[in-house]
A and B are shown apart, each in its own frame.
Chain A
């Protein structure tokens, strides 16, 4: 899923300072799972903003709403006729949702309430971590299913740098050295020979360095 977290309140309050009527729009998919932008978080954010503005003597009118996914047109289209009633929409989706709101509702101000963090997993309650960088050219067959692009601080392809100690990354003791994990796993799977191969220089054009990415599936277009 896409993992996100709410921006600091001060930043959000500054962002909406000039508006008198906003819609806080939640998203009911990824950001619900990471407790950042579902109906519950919409409600909490709305009450914090109301209180802050009231205290400042600048009350604000807030609409609260959550749609299934802000990344699909059918759900966004349900907002037709609603968004015009507000000065701005404060989206609690990931950056994809904010972009799509801006794409579809050309005369409405779309603002981000979240910072989109990464594509990752729930390790346990309250802990999420990154697993995939979305580079568009998967090499996981060569690395025991563990990603050196997303999980090595230097995105190294050919084994750990000299800073790997006791399974930890030189950048922080809180970060696992993914190359240690890859080594341990391939040893367990009896595939250590895979590490002797020199992985070639990567084509980063599929990773966003070839310009914004787009995928077209002719077979699905109606």
Chain B
């Protein structure tokens, strides 16, 4: 075991993992995190806490993770390189490990231009692949990037993101291979709507044997409304929502139910793809639906490892 986290244990035991996502509040209320924790606790193996997603200032991922740990939940601390240089990154990792965080997801981060402080200076001292390398160096060599020793263990389960739907498509698997070579233990993908494209991607992943070196969790997002489906299709870079899915949402009597059904169908198809070891549910502003989805997908009870 590299970290002993619940997520690592579930994946290493060969079971199909479920992770969910918790967006922290634009405020100081611990209750927001605690409510999402209570809601999702029994329906996932670990919960991601986002790091100022879409560059909007929110409660820090590290603090959100601590609130989850206090509830007995295994958190995945998301960390973007947009806002921290190598000094802050390594410092935050030391603190996170000291407080019991074991899973860290390494990300570039949405550009600050999208957020509520679009005139901020982006840091980007290192990139997301170099962040993976940094955490691996800290864990395996117990050294900082400068070469100095770290006192104490750094047990981490290192995660990275992959987007099979961004361009250039042929490069996406090479990029995944780089993340694996850098030291990624698990991958959470961008949300899958285009199952055909995801299947082609996974076939290229298997050709390179990457599915045997890293645990891949496919991202899924239940669509809550027709507007959301259209918005994600037309306005979110790097997400591919096929027209037939948007059409199904448009034709549905009950859009929410249809969104959930589409999500369940995608999960069913994902489960059949060789090399996918779990799902990551990103129910943006619709966390309440997650228990139903996990239940209907036949993924309960969650394993005790």
Contacts and interface: CB of A to CB of B under 8 A. Distances in A.
A1 B31 CA distance: 55
Interface stretch (A90-98, A123-131, A154-162): A154-162
B181 A177 contact: no
B167 A159 contact: no
A154 B83 CA distance: 11
Tell me the dominant secondary structure on chain A's binding face.
Answer: loop
A164 B237 CA distance: 7
Contacts of B171: 159-160, 179, 183, 195
Interface string B140-180: 00000100000000000000011100111011001101100
Interface in B73-110: 81-82, 86, 108-110
Contacts of B67: none
Given A164-B168, A177-B167, A159 B174 contact: yes
Interface in A171-207: 171-172, 177, 179-180, 183-184, 192, 195-196, 198, 200-202, 204
Interface stretch (B39-47, B125-133, B292-300): B125-133
Contacts of A192: 174
B48 interface: no
B111 A155 contact: no
B130 A155 contact: no
Most chain B CB neighbours (cut-off 10 Å) among A155, A159, A180:
A159
Contacts of A79: none
Nearest to A173: B237
A152 to B, nearest CB: 9
B197 interface: no
Contacts of A159: 129, 171, 174-175, 178
Nearest to A186: B171
Interface residues of B, number: 37
Contacts of A172: 113
B182 interface: yes
Most chain A CB neighbours (cut-off 10 Å) among B108, B167, B178, B182:
B167
B4 interface: no
A177 B238 CA distance: 13
A162 to B, nearest CB: 3
B163 A162 contact: yes
B196 interface: no
A141 B126 CA distance: 20
A177 B111 CA distance: 13
B182 A196 contact: no
B50 to A, nearest CB: 15
Contacts of A162: 108, 161-163, 166, 190, 237-238
Contacts of A156: 108, 124, 127-128
| Interface size classification for chain A | 20 to 34
B161 A153 contact: no
Given A165-B237, A170-B237, A160 B166 contact: yes
B182 A166 contact: no
A163 interface: yes
Interface in A21-42: none
Interface in A65-88: none
Contacts of A165: 166-167, 237-238
B122 interface: yes
Contacts of A202: 125-126
Contacts of B114: 170-171
A201 B168 CA distance: 23
A167 interface: yes
A164 B109 CA distance: 13
A154 B145 contact: no
A164 B111 CA distance: 12
Contacts of B182: 198
Given A183-B168, A195-B174, A198-B178, A170 B111 contact: yes
A183 B166 CA distance: 13
Given A165-B237, A196-B178, A158 B127 contact: yes
A30 to B, nearest CB: 25
B174 A196 contact: yes
A154 B167 contact: no
Contacts of B125: 202, 204
A169 to B, nearest CB: 8
29 contacts: A153-B113, A153-B122, A155-B124, A157-B130, A158-B178, A159-B178, A160-B175, A161-B108, A161-B128, A161-B163, A162-B166, A163-B166, A164-B238, A165-B167, A168-B237, A170-B238, A171-B111, A171-B113, A177-B167, A192-B174, A196-B178, A198-B130, A198-B133, A201-B130, A201-B134, A201-B145, A202-B125, A202-B126, A204-B125
10 closest A-B pairs (Cβ-Cβ)? A162-B163, A170-B237, A163-B237, A158-B129, A162-B238, A161-B108, A156-B127, A159-B175, A162-B166, A155-B124
Interface of A: 153-168, 170-172, 177, 179-180, 183-184, 192, 195-196, 198, 200-202, 204
